[in-house]
Structure 1
Amino acid sequence: MSAAAAASAEATPSTEATPSRDALLGRKVHVKVPATSANLGPGFDTLGLALARYDELEVEVVGSGLEIEVHGVGEGEVPLDDSHLVVRAMAHTFARHGRALPPIRLVAHNSIPHGRGLGSSGAAIVAGVMAAKGLLEPEVEISPDGLLELATELEGHPDNVAPALFGGLTIAWVTPDGPRHKKLMVHRGVSPLVLVPEHEMSTALARSLQPQSVPHEDAVFNVSRSALLVAALIQSPELLLAATEDKLHQSYRAEAMPETDRLIRRLREAGHPAVISGAGPSILVLASDPSERADAARLVEETADTAWQALPLAVDFLGATVTPADGP
């Protein structure tokens, strides 16, 4: 079931509706979550895009203990105990529904790079929330707003978890009643290219470089570009170069990722709509068609000062899914 198609219900139903631990024994689900790129230039902490590169995992309720296997990205690096982010997100979701997390076996196959600005932590949180949702069904239903609220409580802001949950281009905002989102379909010509360096970047460090206030004219500049970016992505891709201009965050972070800054400048001077992906240091090029994407990849290969992995990715339109998994 797609997160976007989740039934409308309260985020926290009564504990009487939750299945017992014995009833959960043997339940097994498969979860698939896309990578994301947040900000997209001017849309700081608001706009996000789901990309067709995925982390997949299977979770089974077992009789006792906690067993975690990680394959691919993060293998041998991420914790294999209850501090694992997927497990924490599952436990949080169960707790919000009045239950303790039962003993589980978790097998993760990861392909989203860690620490590169492609939403790996958001994907792990969404994976845990969706896994818990799948195990609690059909006794418990969680609405789309409920899923977003649970994920945002752990992530801190909704710009990465919204596209991971719902796919496509998302606009996320926070109200007194919790986070909300609007999903939009992206123009079929938009052809994302992600450029991934070998080094990582701390999101906390990137955020620490942000000033507490910005000039009025810079704020107005970004409001105009953010509005234009939505129009460019859903209707007029030829406007993407102008629409991805930013004065709120990228220049302040440039000193912490000089290779990223140099390559973005080179790409934009050549006419390619390049921006920092999330907190960086990866770069997102929002090409207006596949031929422009190929030209951008070629420019990077021929002129980049350091090694970059070029990933031509489609936009993911489905978002996170959870389905019953076959038994052993």
Structure 2
Amino acid sequence: MDVAGPEVIGSSGGRILPVGRTVTVEVPASSANLGPGFDALGVALGLYDTLTVTVIESGLELEVTGEGAGEVPEDASHLVAKVVEAGLRAGGMGAPGLRIACVNAIPHSRGLGSSASAAVGGLVAANGLMNGALTTEHLVQLSSEFEGHPDNAAASVLGGVVVSWTERSETAVKYSAVRMDVDPSIVATVLVPSETSSTAQTRGLLPATVPHEDAAFNASRAALMSVALGSRPEFLMAATEDRLHQAYRAPALVATTEWVTRLRGRGLAATVSGAGPTVLVLSTSALPADLRESAESQGWRVLDLTIADGARVVSEA
């Protein structure tokens, strides 16, 4: 779809990128919270959107295939288009026009970080066009600004499992994250339903305050998570326990909650993936065949995923 664009996309006061410059980026899905780490823990998962951005003579051309095709806008209001422009502006560069092609494999509105992946992919593509003008810290900050919190975005930037945090002052919000080492025997399985969920809706179910006992419970489990993920996966069941968000969201995620309960009853460390409705399982073995068959018979997609590295430029010219 061709849409008239501004004379310069990005910064009109900086260097203008040459027509024909192009990059292709792969960006992983992500899951947030991992049980106790509400808005703090995230993991990159080996399911990828691919984004190709090419500098053209003028205007904006945007095409979406795969997940979200026909549902998301194909104009300057598309998140990726906004993010690429913001990335160029942050790097002090501009483009006379852009062609953006999105090939999406990450399901939308399922708790797998599709919007964070779009934000990260757009920024990494812009950075590739600019030969790395932005640091990793810039990428975490800018993508988290689009998201409003850093857990999914930081995971897609840094890869692996991340611990993220937010510092607020009267004049600014700073987002930071660090990647953790993960025991190589740990793998992820996700159960993805056909229905979608709204992060805003499920976040609205959370109370304004929680009991001190529940806060202490989650603090201990989040601390244990670093041990379980790093070298002691036998503690994953205890480490993924939560009292801050999943029970409050359960009325809006009935099937998801039932599957989390069923899986945990079988000794599998299952949690709600982000705001749901996808279910995340962290384990050192594959999902038992009977559970896989049962989920698939109910219309759930069961995907075995690696814990992935962060977004990267796979080709450029």
For residue 119 of structure 1, what is the amino acid of its counterpart?
Answer: G
Name the counterpart of 1:30. 24
Name the counterpart of 1:178. 174
Select which of 11, 15, 20 maps to 1:19. Answer: 15
Q: Does 1:277 align with 2:269?
A: no
How many pairs align? 303
TM-score by length of 1: 0.88
Name the counterpart of 2:294. 302
- Of residues 305-314 and 190-199 in structure 1, the stretch that sits farther from structure 2 once superposed is 305-314
Q: Using the alignment, how far apart are the partners of 1:76 and 1:325 within structure 2?
A: 28
Q: Does 1:50 align with 2:52?
A: no
**What do the CA deviations read for 1:181-216 (whole angstroms, capped 9, x no partner)?**
110121111121100000000011011111111000
Q: Give runs of aligned pairs for residues 112-151 of structure 1, distance below 5 A.
A: 112-137=106-131, 141-151=133-143
Q: Give runs of aligned pairs for residues 245-260 of structure 1, distance below 5 A.
A: 245-260=241-256
- Give the C-alpha shift of residue 304 in structure 1: 7.8
Maintained 8 Å contact 1:240/1:286: yes
From the two aligned structures, give the one with the greater strand fraction: 2
Alpha-carbon RMSD: 1.9
- Give the C-alpha shift of residue 302 in structure 1: 3.0
**What do the CA deviations read for 1:291-326 (whole angstroms, capped 9, x no partner)?**
xx231x53242378832110010110x200124435
Structure 1 stretches of 4+ moved >2 Å: 94-102, 300-306, 323-326
Q: Does 1:322 align with 2:313?
A: yes
Q: Using the alignment, how far apart are the partners of 2:295 and 2:74 within structure 1?
A: 41
Q: Using the alignment, how far apart are the partners of 1:272 and 1:158 within structure 2?
A: 27
Distance 1:98 1:302, change over 3 A: closer
Name the counterpart of 1:206. 202
Maintained 8 Å contact 1:15/1:97: no
Q: Using the alignment, how far apart are the partners of 1:164 and 1:98 within structure 2?
A: 24
Distance 1:194 1:64, change over 3 A: same
Name the counterpart of 2:8. none
For residue 105 of structure 1, what is the amino acid of its counterpart?
Answer: R
Name the counterpart of 2:82. 88
TM-score by length of 2: 0.91
For residue 59 of structure 2, what is the amino acid of its counterpart?
Answer: G
- Give the C-alpha shift of residue 96 in structure 1: 2.8
Q: Does 1:192 align with 2:188?
A: yes
**What are structure 2's unaligned runs of at least 5 residues?**
1-10
The secondary structure found in structure 1 opposite 2:226 is helix
The secondary structure found in structure 2 opposite 1:33 is strand
The secondary structure found in structure 1 opposite 2:306 is coil
The secondary structure found in structure 1 opposite 2:83 is helix
The secondary structure found in structure 1 opposite 2:137 is helix
Q: Using the alignment, how far apart are the partners of 1:240 and 1:166 within structure 2?
A: 22
Maintained 8 Å contact 2:296/2:302: no
Name the counterpart of 2:211. 215
Distance 1:305 1:111, change over 3 A: closer
